[in-house]
Amino acid sequence: MKISYSGKPDIQIIPSFTAIKGVDKKLFKGEAGESLIIPTEKKLYLGLGKKDKLESADVRATFAKTAKSLMTGKYSKIGIKWNSALNKFSTEVLEGFMLANHHVAKYKTGKELKKENEKLIQELIVPKELKKESGDIVKVAEAVHYVRDIVTGPPNIVTTDYVANEAKKIARAGAASIKVYDKAWLKKNKMGAILGVNAGSGKKGAKLVVLDYKPSGAKKAPIMLVGKGLIFDSGGYNLKPTKHIEDMQQDMAGGATVLGVFKLLKQLKIKRRVVGVIPLTDNMIDSDAQRPSDIVTAYNGKTIEIRNTDAEGRLILADALAYGVKTFKPEYTIDLATLTGACVVALGDRYAGVMGNDKKLIEGLVAAGEKTDELLWELPIHKDFKEAMKGIIGDIRNADNGTSYMAGSSKAGAFLEYFVDKSKWAHLDIAGTAYVSKPKAHESQYGTGYGVRLLAEFLRAL
């Protein structure tokens, strides 16, 4: 969507806290949630409710809803009549509107596809006072849409090669260096945990993508972002049943989010060095597939008892984290992963889980999420959970026996902590927020792009 500062809109949004002179009060009083289109006048009256009760998340949602209501194919240029009470919410107004302007029917063809594309709004006309911030917001919304498309995309198209190629494109455009390591390199570097997960995937490759954004003058110790890039999670021999397996192409959302952030680093002029590490593989079943009771050796030399082949995300993250902290010695390590069903049960789609070993880092992430309405809720890593993840014949195990449903998200976090050494680290479990069947106002169905805005905000605030 283009933003412009003058022109004649197909329809003008008129936000208001009160009734409007000449408009029937039965139809519009300016209350929150009200919206009245008068096509003959090319106007949409939008109720904002009580001025002193206006909250940023509500403003974002209101404008997102309005955008969706206008995505019928009839309107391509939309104007907003500015109300000075919106000045402090200008980011939310633009963001809500732009985030909503997206569709998921990318794999439809012919007329059907054309119809979906024509529903998108092409141009938003706003006052020129918003020029300064609007450029960045367009970029941010594009990055969120980009992540949604990758997460929603089918796993026979969005393959390891596909994601690695996207990473290359992003590196090229975003002034980051990139390395895409293949299976031979993973073997040479003894990344037994990623290779174990990949073992049943036949010709489908395993890769480790490493991006490095190093703006001039940045200090050496980077912020490291590690994203789970599991192309399709069948569960492996602990096969997922019907109703749990269908949407498991979403399991690379953590990796896609890291790509979305890298798309933005140069555009938002982030001043810190940022390293991105994305382990990529499927979790499939053939005669070479990993079995429960196998033991693998991770990059840091620790042996892992495979108790459940469906707890594969923590395995690929184990190698990626251990490699990343050793190679880059980051100031902060943040990983993102659709890691546990337990997190979906605990927090639903409203909060992602956050846990880690550094209070300040967690507080910074929570604060960024409050600003962008990508909320985080801290879960504990009790030492008993670390204990529960210890192995009996090996060092640790990827699932504890029998009781893995108890504090499942925390135990996954406890497992990961064995691989971050002394790095200040936070883990975001985005299993409930990265992919939804019931989207919120600013979201699309399926991939949400959750986390891109949060991390961009976190990096900006550093």
Q: Which residues bind ligand BES (CB under 6 A)?
A: 233, 251, 308, 310-313, 338-342, 344, 399, 404, 408, 431
Tell me, rounded to whole angstroms, the distance of Cα 376 from its chain centroid.
13
Residue count of the chain, please give it: 462
CB nearer to ligand BES: pick between 337 and 368: 337
Residue 21 known to be catalytic? no
CB nearer to Zn ion: pick between 191 and 230: 230
CB nearer to Zn ion: pick between 240 and 266: 240
CB nearer to ligand BES: pick between 200 and 408: 408
Partner whose footprint covers residue 11, from Zn ion, ligand BES, none (CB < 5 to 8 Å by kind) = none
Partner whose footprint covers residue 431, from Zn ion, ligand BES, none (CB < 5 to 8 Å by kind) = ligand BES
Residue 314 known to be catalytic? yes
Question: Contact, 415 vs 328, CB < 8 A?
Answer: no
Out of 207, 228, 307, 314, the active site residue is: 314
Question: Contact, 45 vs 23, CB < 8 A?
Answer: yes
CB nearer to ligand BES: pick between 282 and 312: 312
Question: Contact, 279 vs 320, CB < 8 A?
Answer: yes
CB of 191 to Zn ion, least distance (A): 18
Partner whose footprint covers residue 308, from Zn ion, ligand BES, none (CB < 5 to 8 Å by kind) = ligand BES
CB of 236 to ligand BES, least distance (A): 9
Question: Contact, 433 vs 337, CB < 8 A?
Answer: no
CB nearer to ligand BES: pick between 325 and 399: 399
β-sheet bridge partners, residue 207: 280
CB of 390 to ligand BES, least distance (A): 15
Collect all residues with Cβ–Cβ distance below 8 Å to 457 and sequence separation of at least 6. 368, 371, 372
CB of 224 to ligand BES, least distance (A): 22
Partner whose footprint covers residue 341, from Zn ion, ligand BES, none (CB < 5 to 8 Å by kind) = ligand BES
CB nearer to Zn ion: pick between 94 and 230: 230
CB of 427 to ligand BES, least distance (A): 14
CB of 154 to Zn ion, least distance (A): 17
- Nearest-CB residue to ligand BES? 341
CB of 107 to Zn ion, least distance (A): 23
Out of 42, 183, 240, 460, the active site residue is: 240
CB of 311 to ligand BES, least distance (A): 4
Partner whose footprint covers residue 64, from Zn ion, ligand BES, none (CB < 5 to 8 Å by kind) = none
Partner whose footprint covers residue 344, from ligand BES, Zn ion, none (CB < 5 to 8 Å by kind) = ligand BES
Helix/strand/coil (H, E, C) string of the chain?
CEEECCCCCCEEEEEECCCCCCCCCCCCCCCCCCEEEEHHHCEEEEECCCHHHCCHHHHHHHHHHHHHHHCCCCCCEEEECCCHHHHHHHHHHHHHHHHHCCCCCCCCCHHHHHHHHHHCCCEEECCHHHHHHHHHHHHHHHHHHHHHHHHHCCCCCCCHHHHHHHHHHHHHHCCEEEEEECHHHHHHCCCHHHHHHHHHHCCCCCEEEEEEECCCCCCCCCEEEEECEEEEECCCCCCCCCCCCCCHHHHHHHHHHHHHHHHHHCCCCCCCCEEEEEEEEEECCCCCCCCCCCEEECCCCCEEECCCCCCCHHHHHHHHHHHHHHHHCCCEEEEEECCCHHHHHHHCCCEEEEEECCHHHHHHHHHHHHHHCCEEEECCCCHHHHHHCECCCCCEECCCCCCCCCCHHHHHHHHHHCCCCCCCEEEEECCCCCEECCCCCCCCCEECCCCHHHHHHHHHHC
Partner whose footprint covers residue 340, from ligand BES, Zn ion, none (CB < 5 to 8 Å by kind) = ligand BES
The footprint of Zn ion (CB under 5 A) covers: 230, 233, 251, 310, 312-313
Partner whose footprint covers residue 404, from Zn ion, ligand BES, none (CB < 5 to 8 Å by kind) = ligand BES
CB nearer to ligand BES: pick between 429 and 457: 429
- State the catalytic residues: 240, 314
